[in-house]
Amino acid sequence: MLCTSCRIAVNLKQSLPLFFFLMLTAVLPADDKPVLKPTAYSLLYNEWEAEREALENTSTPNNIEELKKRRQALRKTYTRKFLELAKQHTADDQWSGCFIWVMAYGEPGPDLDAMVDLLPRYGNKVHNMFPLQMFMPDMVKIKSDRINPALAEIIENSISEGLHGAALYALGARTKKTADYHGSQEGCRHAETLLQQVVDQFPDVATSRGKTGDLAKQLLKTLRGPAAIGKQAPETKGKDIAGVSFHLSDQRGKVIVLSFSGHWCAPCRAMHGIEKELLKKYPQEKFVIIEINSDEQKNLKQVAEKMNSDGLMWRAVVDNTQGPIADLWSVTTWPTFYVIDQKHQVRHRGTGFIGQDLVHWVDKLINESQE
């Protein structure tokens, strides 16, 4: 039952409570399971949870920025505490619980990096590798330059097929993400090699986000699809919210941001200010934003009104989260941003709230055309 629950977890928020259960049971003798006994890890976890809840309960609509700072400070404090506890429990499996907490909640920085360094030293020595195996896909989005070397060492020395396969997937996915960010075709080819190894050798390894083979195939679809980095942008047709026909090829010669977005999506909305800044910065003959909208058909009138009132002056082409345009561009995460250069070549791809990275990509391509 636990494994099934893990497999159907679709995001970190859903999967963490299960990981917590697994981490607690992982450090207990087999005869004691499934009864949970207090451990140093569980006590520290409960301490953190109590402080976090107290902090949230004191927040008001007027102190949002202060709340963000206090959240960050709390995460930083407990990143250090879980690191110190992990160092004291490398002989038992409690360190892996601390490791997963820091990767899930910790504040990026030296303490998180130090925790990553424990993975290749002790990851192949834990009695129960299952929690680490299940967590591997969530390593993809963590910001630390220590992670890829740590994963590579785990893969080289692994005594567990499950942990090996999950770590190989995580390394392949991280390699792809970096290649997408930098627009590196060589990096994409390396990612493709790693992910194909997952499909060939470890297709059935369970993780919190599904089987590694299925996850790898989804990423390979993007790497090999018509909208892969370095390829000419595929012709994309549709109608905008006003019912006017749209052809992406009409924008050839401009730098294009293709924004797979939705007004139901908080990270999508958080990018609106940055997109508005870009439109102010560059004239329409050089730069354009096209939103591939994923809102439900019944909400499109409200979306159009909201875009107008918020000054979002770009075209919104009607699609949905399973629409033909999203499928053509291999989009499964919102928001997803593609940046296309003046020669209509796909140059960058990013998912989630990418902030000023979008500005850097556009600036670079605009400057290329002026050299």
Q: Per residue in 191-224, pLDDT tens?
A: 999 999 999 999 999 999 999 999 999 999 999 9
The 8-class DSSP code of residue 172 comes to H
CA distance linking residue 265 with residue 237, whole number of Å: 23
pLDDT digits (tens, 9 = 90+) for 17-67: 444 444 444 444 444 444 557 899 999 999 999 999 999 888 776 777 888
Q: What is the pTM of this model?
A: 0.86
- The whole-number pLDDT of residue 199 equals 98
CA distance linking residue 103 with residue 347, whole number of Å: 30
3-state secondary structure of 206: strand
In the numeric block, which tokens belong to residue 154? 């785990």
CA atoms within 13 A on the CB side of 151: 25
- The whole-number pLDDT of residue 63 equals 77
Which pLDDT band holds residue 10 (cuts at 50, 70, 90)? very low
Residue with tokens 């401009």: 254
Alpha helix (H) ranges present in 58-93? 64-88
pLDDT digits (tens, 9 = 90+) for 152-193: 999 999 889 999 999 999 999 999 999 999 999 999 999 999
Short-list 253, 271, 248, CA closest to 261: 271
The β-bridge partners of 247 are 237
- The whole-number pLDDT of residue 60 equals 72
Query: What sign results for the dihedral spanned by CA atoms 55, 61, 67, 68?
Result: positive
pLDDT averaged over every residue in the chain: 89
370 pLDDT higher than 90: no
- The whole-number pLDDT of residue 25 equals 44
139 pLDDT higher than 50: yes
- Give me the mean pLDDT over the 289-298 stretch: 96
Instruction: Count the neighbouring beta carbons within 10 Å of the beta carbon of residue 197.
Output: 17
Residue with tokens 């006994």: 37
In the numeric block, which tokens belong to residue 190? 């390396």
Short-list 1, 9, 47, 53, CA closest to 209: 9
CA distance linking residue 140 with residue 219, whole number of Å: 12
Amino acid identity of residue 192, one-letter, is: E
3-state secondary structure of 31: helix
pLDDT digits (tens, 9 = 90+) for 252-291: 999 999 999 999 999 999 999 999 999 999 999 999 999 9
- The whole-number pLDDT of residue 66 equals 86
- The whole-number pLDDT of residue 320 equals 81
In the numeric block, which tokens belong to residue 360? 């850097």
Which pLDDT band holds residue 371 (cuts at 50, 70, 90)? low
Angle 313-256-295 (CA atoms, 0-180°, nearest 5)? 55
